[in-house]
Structure 1
C-alpha cells in the first residue's frame, strides 16, 4: 500500500545567500549539508540545511534570487513552517538565543495545543519553534555535534507546515483522498492532518482564508516536498496522481533524490521525493556543505558556473 511517510524538504526564496547562511547556520544552528545550484537555472545558489546528513524531514532549502521583491502575503500559499525542538526548556533556551541575536519573536505562547515561539527569518519567512514533548521522530534524524546550538536544544527537524487556502474543502479532499493523510482535528476554517498518530513531524495544517492570492517574492515558499521510499513507489504515485485528475508538471532526477511535481487545486506546488540516495552520494559526511557540489550533468560547466556565483562565506 502506498504511504507518504512525512515531509522530505521545503524550498523557499532568499534574496541574499550570505545573510541566509548566517541566519540558518550560525543562529539557528542547522548544518548546511549541500551548497549547490538550482539545477534548472545554475546561475543561482541552492542551499540545503538540515541535521547531520540532511535526513528527509529536516531539509530547509533556499534558492537565491538577488532581485526578488517582497512577498505580498495572501491565500493559496504555504505560509508558515514549524521547527521541532526537544522540550519546554528548549523554548526558554531559544527565547534567550533569539534575544541574544536581536531577532524579533513572540513570547512563549501556543500554536494550536503546542508550546511555541513565533519569529521570521531575514526575508520575512514565517517560522515557529515547537516543543516536540518527546513525541516520536524519525529514527534517522541525527543531531550535529558541531552546531553552535547546544545539543540538548538543537532543532530536530520539520514540524507542521501551514497552508492557507481559499477553499478548505478542496484542499482536504486532495490531502485525504489522494495522499492518505489522517485527520487529527477540523473546524469550519482549519484542519490538521498527520501521517502518523501523535506525531508533530509530517503534519500539515490547512487554514481557510478569504482575500487575494499571495504574490511570491523573497521569504515565500516555492514548494513542499513529501517523502516516498524509492523510485518504484514514485512511479506508482505518478500514476495515482494522474488517475486522480492532476497532471504531473515535472519529473526530475535530482541526483540526491528523484522527484515528481504536481499542483494541487489552489496552485500550491507539491513535490514527491525519494528518501535516497541522499547527500552523501558524492560527499563524505564530514565534508557536507563545505564546497560547491554539482550533479554529474553540470560538472563539465563548473568553471562557468563558479564564475557567476558570489562567494557566500
Structure 2
C-alpha cells in the first residue's frame, strides 16, 4: 500500500448532551475555534458542531452530535476510541492547570509518558481528554482567539483505541492503513503513519494512534460522553477509492462513499469494534464559508435547505459570544 493513501488523523466525532454547554467547554474553556455549525446529516434535528484550529485543518477537528437531554449515556471501555489528546507547548502547562482550577475542571496531576507530560481531564459529559505538553509541535494555533497564542491548543496529539488485544488492530493499521509501530510503554503501543517525515519537526503531532490493550477491561457502551468514530485523512477521492478497494479485498465491509459536504467518507469497523472513517481532505470547511466567517452561520446541505425553517425551529439556540465571554482569559 502506498504510504500516501492515509496521511494521519482527520477528525474525531463524539456524542454530547446540551449543545450550549458543549460550545461553552470546547470554544469557551479550551479556546478551540468553532469551525462549522451544521446538522447531523442522518438526524437533522441534531446539531453537528466542529471545533478546530484557525482554518479547520485535518488533525485538529473535534466534532460533536449534541443530543440534548438524551437518556442514552455511554460508558467508556474496550471497542472504543476512548481518550482524545490535544497538543500544547510545554510552557503552557501552568496556564492550563490554573485555568482548570479557576473554572473547577477536575484533572489528574501531570504524568510523564514517553517524552511527553500529560494532563488527563474530562468534558462535562465525561468524555476522556488529555493535554499533551511537548516542544515538537510547530503548528500554529487559533491566532486571534481569546486564549493567548503562546499557550493555545495546537490541534490533536493523538487518539487512544481501547482493545482487549492489539494484534488484529495493529495488523489493520500497519498492513492496510499505512501506519507503523514506533514505541511501547506497558500496555500502550504507539503508531504513526509511514508517510509522516519524522525528521521534519512537528509533523508527528496530530497523527499518533495508541492502542491500550487489556483483556480484563469491560466493553464500552456507545452514548453520551463517548467517541462515535475516529476518522483518518486521505488526500483525494482517488486515494479514498484505493483504501476502500484494499479494505474490501481484505474482508472488511466499508460503506459506499457518503457526501458529508466538507469531505467524503467511508466507514467500517476495525477488528476490535471501533468505528473507523476514511475522510477526504477536500472540499474542506471553506466550501461554504470564508476563513474569516467559519462557524458563524447554520450551514445545511443543499438537500435540506427546503427544510431550513423547520430545522431551525427544532434546534436549541446557541451563542458563541456567550461561550467566549463566560471563559474569557483575565
Query: Is TM (by shorter chain) over 0.5?
Result: yes
User: Is contact 2:111–2:119 with CA below 8 Å preserved after alignment?
Assistant: yes
Consecutive unaligned residues of structure 2, counting only runs of 5 or more, are: 320-330
User: Is contact 2:87–2:131 with CA below 8 Å preserved after alignment?
Assistant: yes
**1:134–1:163 Cα change, 3 Å:** same
User: Is contact 1:110–1:117 with CA below 8 Å preserved after alignment?
Assistant: no
Q: What residue number does 2:300 align with?
A: 294
User: Is contact 1:165–1:208 with CA below 8 Å preserved after alignment?
Assistant: yes
Q: What residue number does 2:262 align with?
A: 256
Q: What residue number does 2:327 align with?
A: none
Q: Does 1:30 align with 2:36?
A: no
Consecutive unaligned residues of structure 1, counting only runs of 5 or more, are: none
- Pairing of 1:104-143 with structure 2 (within 5 A): 104-135=106-137, 137=139, 142-143=140-141
Report the alpha carbon displacement of residue 109 of structure 1 after superposing the two structures with TM: 2.1
Q: 1:311 aligns with which of 304, 317, 323?
A: 317
Q: Does 1:173 align with 2:171?
A: yes
Instruction: Provide Cα deviations, 1:61-106, integer angstroms capped at 9, x if missing partner.
Output: 00011214332232111111110012x2111111111111111112
Counterpart secondary structure, 2:93: helix
Report the alpha carbon displacement of residue 136 of structure 1 after superposing the two structures with TM: 5.3
Q: Does 1:282 align with 2:288?
A: yes
User: Is contact 1:57–1:158 with CA below 8 Å preserved after alignment?
Assistant: yes
- Pairing of 1:1-313 with structure 2 (within 5 A): 1-3=2-4, 4-66=6-68, 67-86=70-89, 88-135=90-137, 137=139, 142-186=140-184, 189-195=187-193, 196=196, 197=198, 199-209=204-214, 210-313=216-319
User: Is contact 1:194–1:200 with CA below 8 Å preserved after alignment?
Assistant: no
Counterpart secondary structure, 1:62: strand
For residues 187 and 28 of structure 1, the distance between their equivalents in structure 2, rounded to whole angstroms, comes to 28
Counterpart secondary structure, 2:255: strand
User: Is contact 2:80–2:161 with CA below 8 Å preserved after alignment?
Assistant: yes
For residues 309 and 287 of structure 2, the distance between their equivalents in structure 1, rounded to whole angstroms, comes to 22
User: Is contact 1:252–1:260 with CA below 8 Å preserved after alignment?
Assistant: yes
Greater mean deviation of Cα atoms: 62-71 or 90-99: 62-71
Counterpart secondary structure, 1:248: coil
User: Is contact 1:91–1:116 with CA below 8 Å preserved after alignment?
Assistant: no
Q: How many residues align?
A: 308
For residues 217 and 281 of structure 1, the distance between their equivalents in structure 2, rounded to whole angstroms, comes to 30
For residues 259 and 110 of structure 1, the distance between their equivalents in structure 2, rounded to whole angstroms, comes to 36
User: Is contact 2:100–2:107 with CA below 8 Å preserved after alignment?
Assistant: yes
Report the alpha carbon displacement of residue 185 of structure 1 after superposing the two structures with TM: 1.5
For residues 97 and 266 of structure 1, the distance between their equivalents in structure 2, rounded to whole angstroms, comes to 36
Report the alpha carbon displacement of residue 188 of structure 1 after superposing the two structures with TM: 7.1
For residues 293 and 173 of structure 1, the distance between their equivalents in structure 2, rounded to whole angstroms, comes to 39
Counterpart secondary structure, 2:95: helix
Counterpart secondary structure, 1:273: strand
For residues 218 and 200 of structure 1, the distance between their equivalents in structure 2, rounded to whole angstroms, comes to 27
Greater mean deviation of Cα atoms: 188-197 or 58-67: 188-197
For residues 300 and 49 of structure 1, the distance between their equivalents in structure 2, rounded to whole angstroms, comes to 26
User: Is contact 1:10–1:59 with CA below 8 Å preserved after alignment?
Assistant: yes
For residues 307 and 233 of structure 1, the distance between their equivalents in structure 2, rounded to whole angstroms, comes to 39
Report the alpha carbon displacement of residue 113 of structure 1 after superposing the two structures with TM: 3.2
